[in-house]
Structure 1
Amino acid sequence: MPSFSPLRPADPSQVGPYRLTGYLGAGGQGTVYVGESPEGQTVAIKVLHARLSEEPQARERFLQEIAATRQVRQFCTARVLDADTSGDQPYVVSQYVEGISLSRLIAAQGVRDPDALERLAVATVTALVAIHQAGIVHRDFKPSNVVCGPDGPRVIDFGLARALDSTVAESSEILGTPAYMAPEQFSAGVVTAASDMFSWAATMAYAASGRPPFGNDSIPALFQRILNEEPDLSGLTEPVRSLVVACLDKNPAARPSATDVLFTLLGHGVPAAARETSGQEALFPTPWQEGGGGASRTGAPSTAGSAFSAGFPAPAGFPSPAGSPSRPVLPPQPGPPSLSGPASLSGPPFVPGGAPRPGTGPVSATESLAGAPARTGLRPRRTLVVASLGLVVAGVVATGAYFALSTPATPKLVTRQAVVTGPTTPVVQPEVTRTLAPTPAYAVAYSPDGKTFVTGGAEGKVQIWDAATRRATTTLEGHTKGVHAVAFSPDGKTLATGSDDGTIRLWSLPSGEGKGTLTGHTGGVGSVAFSPDGKTLASASRDKTVRLWNAETGDGTALLNGHTDWVDSVAFSPDGETLATGSHDRTVRLWHPATGEAAAVLTGHRYWVFSVAFSPDGKTLASASADRTVRLWDVAARKARTVLAGHRGWATALAFSPDGRMLASGGYDRKVRLWEVASGRGTGELDGPGDWIYSVAFSRDGATVTGVAGDATLRVWGTR
């Protein structure tokens, strides 16, 4: 099986003095080719994406990757041979490792048998020992970054790697590949060597079963499982299984270090000298060490970085847990840090189970479905709807940034954009909170007449609610997995829902009878939208495509290709002439829906784009990203005009008020922020959810915002 593909038509034939001969793959940072040096040596060449070459932060990260790779002992990775970051096309040249990635190997040959898995575990954890002893955290350990060659596995791609002593605050970044990310990576906690060990364990589980241990569907569902559920460890046998269990602990302080795992696999004790530089204790203190101790998931004290606290016997020569000094038990989980405090957290970066953290913030009024009385909060000012998963805390100060805008063919630099920060004090409290179900809800939308709204949630649940009483009136059944997309047709007679099961369902309203099921996507559907005339339905999927459908017949009319990663959001302009899409590939794309042709590519977001929304007049497009910002784009000029900074976690959800004057954004920091569209000024902050915000929507009169949350609650805020 060849390990690379022929060059594509748009690929360069030469980079610097290196002749390119094949295409290896592409990621968020760059494209990797096989090439030949002037001396005839076969090499691998990573070229920074053109859209990132004008961004100082992207260049800095590229330099960090080169520096990180050079610090690691070369037996476990690909040796850096050359680099040039001074030109318009930065690149790095490394040793070409003959072989295929672990992900391709599993796809081609099937899962590893116990002996092969143990050899793989020893080789890859040895590489992590070397990486961690070099003072580096890889941060993106996954099957596609393990190359299996004739001389054994090697760990590659240090594009997200960082030294622990980096001056950039780790708590401000959320990076990695979702199915293999540790809980603290999702929640913007401090990322340490322990995070690599979680990813290593997830990779071993994949090698044994052919599936990531927590699945690989939508990010909200995936994160809920990583935080709250047990992994699928089918196919794993001892001794690897116990080590994987220990490394998948929700608490990073309870995970074994790479050195612990290696010596356990080899059946030896860990020498004291090795433990002092095991890559987790001396070099990589966990947030629990900083905050005064660590505990296992069950709350029991854990030995410092020891694999043997996980319930399997210590090898001969290693002191037993009972005789080892243990970290103190964690104090009670703290609430979100003060808005005026530092950005980093001194305590655990997440709360297992997603439960609201007691003792912090204003008390919100609450009414359960069982009829518990609601307590009144501050007098609301105007209303808005929000679907939520779980948020951290808000308010950061940011500086200006350059952004590149391009049509698909010709990128060009645009001007510096204003960066606006939001308020740092909550100004509105929820007037009522309702428990939706034992499962989280992911999406919310109002009907055109404003009398009802619909929510989509876990386990295929779709519910229609009375907007006046805020009580569920109808439950629609049919989807087999989580529903992340809901949309009403303009006349309110049809509801479209999209699911992790890869289907779109159409329902007649108000009866709730099924009209049909649209199939064609090969991945989960994360967003659906009707055209303003109601004749066309657009859908966005994790299969990296956008599809257009005849809304009446259900026939597919167009397939839009162009995004290189999951497509998370789709929206029609009010005149129906433009379709906008947001993707994990960090871009916003504009399309002509009548022809299916690409119109423009808007770049500037540093990480995944979760949501896009047009203003009611169609002049402004908003996009929300995992880089914690919301960007406002001038649709006619095809350029960004304002960057709204303030969310402390991923910005995941957007909604314009009906009059277009206000924008609501929700995020993983448990906040909904209100912004004045004309000025970009932050005007309010909505508190209340005990979990992250998935989706937000204004009521038709603009008086309320409704939100559904990962803690299975529905919240309604007044905005006037």
Structure 2
Amino acid sequence: MLCSVKPHIQLNNKRIHSEFAAITCIDFLDEDRRIITCSEDGSIQVRKADTGEKVGDPWTDEGSGGIHAMAVSPDQTEVVTGSQDGRIRLWNVATRERTRRSRQAHSLTILSVCWSPDEFHIASGSEDGTVFIWDTNQDDIVGHLIRTNHPHVYAVCYSPGGETLVTSGYNNMITFWDVNTREALRFVEACHLSQQVHCIAWTSYDRIFLGCSNGIVQATANAEGEVACLGKRTGPICAIVLSQDELLLAAASLDNTISLWNPKTNKSVGRPLCRPKGLRCAAFARNPDSGLFAASGTDDVYIWDLQELFRDFNSTLPLNPRPWYERCIVQWSSLFRTVVQVTEKAFGRLRRTRAAGPGVGHGAQENYLHGRQSLDKQESAVHLLG
């Protein structure tokens, strides 16, 4: 069922990204007061989360082509992007400037990137079927590249301990890799031979959730490699993301729904969120108390207030985005915010003085599959940003 409410905010000719260029990646910044989006036109834009107002000019790097992967660093000071030209780029959040660009490149488009929480390494998966692990200080590849068994790599994701990397791609397998040796540890058949695994989320308690062509699958991280199907969908899962406290899992599907799950019980939570065609990316707010969840895909961004949503569990109506002006975002006191910022900066400087070790996984902002056509727009849903 699609929403029939008319747009509340539509920017018309003052678009955030180029006309007809889909938004490929989305995340929250600045205590969830801002949203950052990347686009097929190669631009990055930050905007206010409560009004949609642009914050500064778009970040661009000529010649990069479309951006198909993005991940915000754990301390939120940097953003890494993966582009059509096969290179990763690092951007400073405060200055909105590109600080580094990889000297080496994949031969085809980068489809997934993933920070290590210590911020010393970034894993990238490409349409060319390879995975690189980058040293963020040297802007260079650590060790040799990984030639996967996937014709195209759709997702890369570190284990919670950082010693293992799991990849998925244009087949029904996921592959576990030793980060240090770059050797394959095991292969797990995650779904039917005719299906593909598009995105991955790995919890701190070693459950792995996979977005496949026809549903959500849970896999174990141990040697047995057991899998269980949690829910069927009529369209492929294009994004699967965990909340910061790991109490919620969201799976966005090309059947135009977003389903919420309890990852510890494997049970669905409430009714699916409803939005128009064109889903491609999703993100939870970094502060679980804010209760915000965002999704996009065309040139629009949609935000739900999950705290309000949970109060409507017994409702017979679909759970739909609320207008921005009706949401109440909890604001931290300026004093507490200042203390947090100073502490984070000091801790970040301390971490960067440590000797670099193997990257520890955080989970990438997942991106969708090879060869997807531009997705249709639909004006019958609640447009929170246009």
Global fold match (TM > 0.5):
yes
Query: Which among 100, 114, 117 is matched to residue 516 of structure 1?
Result: 100
CA distance in 2, matches of 1:576, 1:652: 25
CA distance in 1, matches of 2:5, 2:65: 31
> Which position in structure 2 is the counterpart of 1:482?
66
Query: Which among 524, 540, 543 is matched to residue 125 of structure 2?
Result: 540
**Alpha-carbon offset, residue 507 of structure 1:** 1.0
CA distance in 1, matches of 2:2, 2:10: 24
Query: Which among 602, 607, 612 is matched to residue 200 of structure 2?
Result: 612
Structure possessing the higher relative contact order (Cα contacts under 8 Å, 6 or more residues apart): 2
Q: Does 1:708 align with 2:296?
A: yes
CA distance in 2, matches of 1:498, 1:473: 22
CA distance in 1, matches of 2:185, 2:287: 33
**Alpha-carbon offset, residue 562 of structure 1:** 2.5
Q: Does 1:368 align with 2:6?
A: no
> Which position in structure 2 is the counterpart of 1:450?
32
Counterpart amino acid of residue 526 in structure 1: L
**Alpha-carbon offset, residue 515 of structure 1:** 1.4
CA distance in 2, matches of 1:620, 1:448: 29
CA distance in 2, matches of 1:589, 1:537: 18
1:124-173: CA deviations, max 9, x gaps? xxxxxxxxxxxxxxxxxxxxxxxxxxxxxxxxxxxxxxxxxxxxxxxxxx
Distance 1:435 1:473, change over 3 A: closer
> Which position in structure 1 is the counterpart of 2:217?
631
1:562-606: CA deviations, max 9, x gaps? 223100111122332222211112211122223322222121322
Report which of the two has the higher share of helix: 1
> Which position in structure 2 is the counterpart of 1:464?
46
> Which position in structure 2 is the counterpart of 1:342?
none
Distance 1:574 1:567, change over 3 A: same
TM-score, normalising length from structure 1? 0.39
**Alpha-carbon offset, residue 693 of structure 1:** 1.4
1:278-332: CA deviations, max 9, x gaps? xxxxxxxxxxxxxxxxxxxxxxxxxxxxxxxxxxxxxxxxxxxxxxxxxxxxxxx
**Alpha-carbon offset, residue 539 of structure 1:** 0.3
SS of equivalent to 2:75: coil
Distance 1:477 1:469, change over 3 A: same
Contact preservation (8 Å) 1:686, 1:717: no
Counterpart amino acid of residue 498 in structure 1: G
The number of residues matched between the two structures is 296
Contact preservation (8 Å) 2:190, 2:219: no
Distance 1:694 1:718, change over 3 A: same
**Alpha-carbon offset, residue 535 of structure 1:** 0.4
Contact preservation (8 Å) 2:17, 2:43: no
Query: Which among 223, 237, 250 is matched to residue 664 of structure 1?
Result: 250
Distance 1:576 1:453, change over 3 A: farther
SS of equivalent to 2:41: helix
SS of equivalent to 2:226: strand
Contact preservation (8 Å) 1:454, 1:486: no
> Which position in structure 2 is the counterpart of 1:500?
84
Matches within 5 A, 1:203-282: none
CA distance in 1, matches of 2:274, 2:6: 9
> Which position in structure 1 is the counterpart of 2:23?
441
Counterpart amino acid of residue 93 in structure 2: L
Matches within 5 A, 1:563-574: 563-574=149-160
Q: Does 1:578 align with 2:160?
A: no
CA distance in 2, matches of 1:618, 1:674: 19
Query: Which among 526, 534, 553 is matched to residue 111 of structure 2?
Result: 526
Identity %: 23
Counterpart amino acid of residue 622 in structure 1: F
CA distance in 1, matches of 2:293, 2:232: 19
Distance 1:476 1:683, change over 3 A: same
Alignment RMSD, CA only?
Answer: 2.3
Q: List alignment gaps of at least 5 residues for structure 1.
A: 1-359, 372-433
SS of equivalent to 1:444: strand
Contact preservation (8 Å) 1:451, 1:466: yes
Larger C-alpha radius of gyration, 1 or 2? Answer: 1
CA distance in 1, matches of 2:166, 2:51: 34
Report which of the two has the higher share of strand: 2
TM-score, normalising length from structure 2? 0.71
Matches within 5 A, 1:675-694: 675-694=261-280
SS of equivalent to 2:162: coil
Contact preservation (8 Å) 1:622, 1:630: yes
Distance 1:597 1:465, change over 3 A: farther
Contact preservation (8 Å) 2:69, 2:82: yes
> Which position in structure 1 is the counterpart of 2:237?
651
